Every structure is written in structure tokens, then in C-alpha cells.
Structure 1
Amino acid sequence: MGGRRTRRAAAKKILAGSRGNSVSGRIRLLGESGTTLIYRPTAADALDAEFRPIVSMDRGVTLYKYLPRQYAEDLVRDGSTRVGTLYDFRRIELGAGVADPEEGLLQVSRQIGGEPHYFPPGTKEGAAMRFFGIEGDASVQNIQFRRVLEHPDVFVWCCSTEFSADVEQSLEGAEACVEIRAAGTFFDELTRALNAVRPVEFLGFREVTYTPRNQTWESYSPDMSAAFVKDPGSYGAQNEVRAVWRSLDKNPIRPEFPRSAALTEFCAIREV
């Protein structure tokens, strides 16, 4: 939307334009108590923001994968493994400690109080409001802004920094632990195996950030990625590491089952 807009909100929740559109031009936003403006970026904006290289962990690190015993033996013996997807983890049937219905989602809110606040373009405050889809010379009063971040679907392979019976017990169905040595080289080979199935780009691997999915503007950092945020209460004991790949074709992604005998060089079952 563009041009001059004056809004006196009568409802408790207002969408800021259609999905992905910003409010632009010289505007005045005046809300009642409880008014919320929700901004969802376009798919293109999300791709630009989220498909960026990850600062990976040390390539020589040893990591641990907890699996049903049959799948652990397949990985160690044949180099066969399942590479899931971010959205696939939302399926509740994956079991406790694995399924997360809010996987890939992050919300950021900012409350503007009863006194008028001005956000001129070209200022730090004006740039901050662009994050919430407000562009142009804005006067804001008594409104909560909320931006919903949904990471595009990506391939994900999860493991842990910890060799621990507690981690294994927190993952429904896990019966065995596979030690992954020289993780950086392991993921290089897994990337080659995945590319044999479909074209992908490896974005890197790093530890998950355990923090609430509902962030305030003050607590949110641009370094946060919705693909690497997990609730600390439900999942914090897992000390999870994620390797992430983006698909390079336009087809919908689904879990894949790459295989490479070279992966077995880095793997061994360890009994906890």
C-alpha cells in the first residue's frame, strides 16, 4: 500500500496490508489498547534473508547422532542415512523430543505506547520500523507490531555435541548412538551423497540457539535464524547441532535417503 494512510483501529488485530506488503508513504498509525499490526514478509524477502552461509563449528569436532538401532547400523555399515526437512519436523508422529509443531517459526514484537512516536526515514528508528513493514515517514501511537518469520524449508540433519544417556532418552525411539568424527569432512561427503539424489547447496552446520520463539525487539538479534531456534524448556537438554542444505531446484522438498560408503569412515556405534 502507498500514499497517505490514517488508521484508527477498531479491531484487536489488523493485518498490515496483504501478505508480504509493507505500509509505505507518509502515514499515521493510531491504535486502541490491544491493537496489533502483523507483518509477514514475501517469500522472496524470506529467501534473501535466510538463505545465507552459516558460520560453522570447527571442522574437526566430534558429534553424536542418536537413532533407532537399525538406522544406526545402516549408517555405520553402509553409509545410509535419512536427511529430513525443517517442515517435516512439525509432524507430531515423529515422537517426543523430535517433533516440533513450531519448527522454523520465530515472532518478533515491539510495543509503541500511548504517546506519539515519530520514525522519520533515514534514521536508525526509521530503519527499525522497516523490519515491521512500515516504510516512509511514520507517526505511531498505541500499537504493538509483530513480525512473523518463517524460514524457507531446507534439508536438515541433526546431531548433538553431547555423548549422554540423557540425550538418548530425550529422543523417542532412539536406541543407539553413532559417533561422527571429523564432522566437517563427514558433511562434505554427505553433501556429495545428497547431490547424487538432487541438487543442493550446503549452508553449514552449527549449534542450535535455545531461546523462546516469541522475541521482543530488544531481545531479538539479526543473527537469529528461525531454522536454528528451539524452545529451551522442551529441547534444551539435547545440545543439538544442525547441518542445513538448500535445494537448488524448484521442486518441493521431502526427506531423502542418500548413501555413501565413504561416510562409514567417520562413524562408529558407541554404547551409552
Structure 2
Amino acid sequence: MQWYKYLPKIHAESMVEDGCVKLGILSGYQDVEAHGEAVGDPDENTRTIYSHDEHVKTDPKQLNPLERQFFDFGNAEIENFHFSNNRIEIKNHDDDLLAYCTSRPFNINAMRKMSEENIKAGNDAYDACVEITDHIGFIQALCDFLENEHGIRYKGHGDCFYRERLIHWTQAHNTAAWNIKDKKYSYQKECRIVFTPPSSFSEKSLIVNVPEIKKFCRLYDLSA
């Protein structure tokens, strides 16, 4: 499978020639002023866990895990407990991960729209694209380098899901925040690789040269 990385030309050439890539901490992209409306996302790596139960509960043992977070009974004996028709929402910030973001398939209109937003934010235009010809080989080479050289461990990869961030508490255990994006970003068709940095990592981004990825990267002909 091919992935595509939209970049300023100078960075695209560096990726192809030197294997240079930049990973970013997901929470850092919440700064829309710095990253622009396309790359920035104020809700990046968050989800809202909710519970909505219209039934009457007369015993604390009937509370679900989300509801229990709002009660601290200690060792008290509870009498005349009544809890009904409640809706609870808790905005959850997932563990901060390092991410490398790409797109598929290539879309010149998406690239131009993202570029325009970059320019509005005072950042460099996307005027080049790197085609990653084998995404699995690329992931493996990048993962090996990051773990061996920086102690950064692979967490997962995949397409982003464009949907609301509201998750029922029964689904919270199998719905990650790192690949959820609002529908307004759907034109980007984003694919991500995410990594767990060591506890000592405190930077917002990491730039590395990974020679092993060069064989999977080539400049994409924008005139094609």
C-alpha cells in the first residue's frame, strides 16, 4: 500500500535523500494558532466518554463505572439512595503519543487546501509530496530505529476515523482517541503511525534521520 506525505519541497527532498522525518506529540497539534486550521485540531487525541441512563437507581451498586467517579461514599451506610435520568460526559485526554501522519490516496486538492491553511498560519507551503511505496516496510524500519536509538515504542497504525468524539462508556475500552478526527478533516484521508515515548521525553516533536526508510520513499510527480 502506498502512503503520501505532503511537505515543503526542502523537507521532501531531505526525506528522500537522508531519511529525515519529523514526528509530533499529538497534544501539540491542539495549538491551532501555531499549526493552522488543517494541521491543528483543538480536540486532538481527546474523546468524550458519556453515560445516559433514564432508569431509577436505588442502590449505589447499580451505578456504572462512569457514574461512580462522581460519588465517594467511603464506609458510610447508604439509605434512601435515588439516582435517575442522568447524563454524564467526561472529556478524556488519552496518553500523549508521538505520531507520524500521512495520507492515502494522493489528492492534489487536499494537499492544496492544507497548504493554504499552512500559509495563513505563517508556515511553509506544501509544494511537494513523498510517496511511501511500501507502508509496512516503512513502518518496520521506522519502528526499529526509534526503539533502538530512542527507546520509543510502536503503539499502532491505521486510518483515521472521521466521526464525533462522543463515546459510550461501554465502548471506551476499545475506542482509542489517537485515530478519531472530526468530519471536517475527512478530506485529508489521514493515516497515522503512533508511538509511546519514554517517560523522560518532554519535547513537542522529534526529528530523526532514518537511512533505512529511504528505499521506501520517492518524490511524487505532482504533474501526474
Match of 1:112 in 2: 53
Give RMSD over aligned pairs.
Answer: 2.5
CA shift in 2, pair 1:133/1:169, >3 Å: farther
Q: Which runs of 5+ in 1 are unaligned?
A: 1-60
Counterpart of 2:122 in structure 1 is: none
Deviation per CA, 1:160-181, whole angstroms, max 9, x where unpaired? 1211112212323321111112
| Whole-Å separation in 2 of the counterparts to 1:186 and 1:271 | 20
- Indicate the structure whose relative CO is greater, using CA pairs within 8 Å and at least 6 residues apart: 2
2:65 to 127, 130, 148: 130
TM-superposition CA deviations, 1:63-91 (whole Å, max 9, x none): 11111111111101110111111011112
TM-score after normalising by structure 2: 0.80
Contact 2:132–2:218 at 8 Å: present in 1 too?
A: yes
Q: Secondary structure at the residue paired with 1:157?
A: strand
Relative to its length, the structure with more helix (as a share) is 2
TM-score (norm 1): 0.67
1:236 has 2:179 as partner: no
Q: Which residue of 1 aligns with 2:91?
A: 148
Q: Name stretches of at least 5 consecutive residues in structure 2 with no aligned partner.
A: 116-124
Aligned residue-pair number: 204
Residue 24 of structure 2 is matched in structure 1 by: 84
SS in 1 for 2:10: helix
What is the identity, as a one-letter code, of the residue corresponding to 1:163?
F
Q: CA deviation at 1:139?
A: 4.3
Alignment-mate amino acid for residue 223 of structure 1? N
Matched-pair identity in %: 22
Q: 1:119 to 1:203 in 2, by over 3 A?
A: farther
Deviation for aligned residue 1:141: 1.6
Instruction: Kindly indicate whether the alpha-carbon contact (under 8 Å) linking 2:141 and 2:212 is maintained by their aligned counterparts in 1.
Output: yes
Distance 1:269 1:119, change over 3 A: farther
For 1:21-41, what per-residue CA distance to the aligned partner results, in whole angstroms no more than 9, with x for missing partners?
xxxxxxxxxxxxxxxxxxxxx
Query: Retained in 1: the 8 A contact 2:66–2:169?
Result: no
Q: Tell me, yes or no, if structure 1 residue 248 matches structure 2 residue 188.
A: no
Residue type of the alignment partner of 1:105: T
The alpha carbon displacement at 1:108 in A equals 2.3
Report the AA paired with residue 174 of structure 2. D
1:1-272 pair list within 5 angstroms: 61-92=1-32, 93-113=34-54, 116-118=56-58, 121=61, 126=63, 129-134=64-69, 139-172=82-115, 173-195=125-147, 197-215=149-167, 222-232=173-183, 234-272=184-222
Q: Which amino acid aligns with 1:180?
A: I
Moved over 6 A (4+): 135-138
Report the 3-state secondary structure (helix = DSSP H, G, I; strand = E; otherwise coil) of the residue aligned with 2:39.
coil
**In the superposition, relative to structure 1, how do residues 198 and 112 fare at CA in structure 2: closer, same or farther (>3 Å)?**
same
Q: 1:184-206 CA distances to partner (integer Å, 9 max, x unpaired)?
A: 12112112333455211111211
Higher mean displacement: 143-152 or 192-201: 192-201
Give the corresponding residue for 1:17: none
What is the deviation of 1:118? 4.9
Contact 2:153–2:195 (8 Å) recurs in 1: yes
Rounded to whole Å, the distance in 2 between the matches of 1:248 and 1:117 is: 43
Following superposition, the deviation at residue 111 of structure 1 comes to 2.9
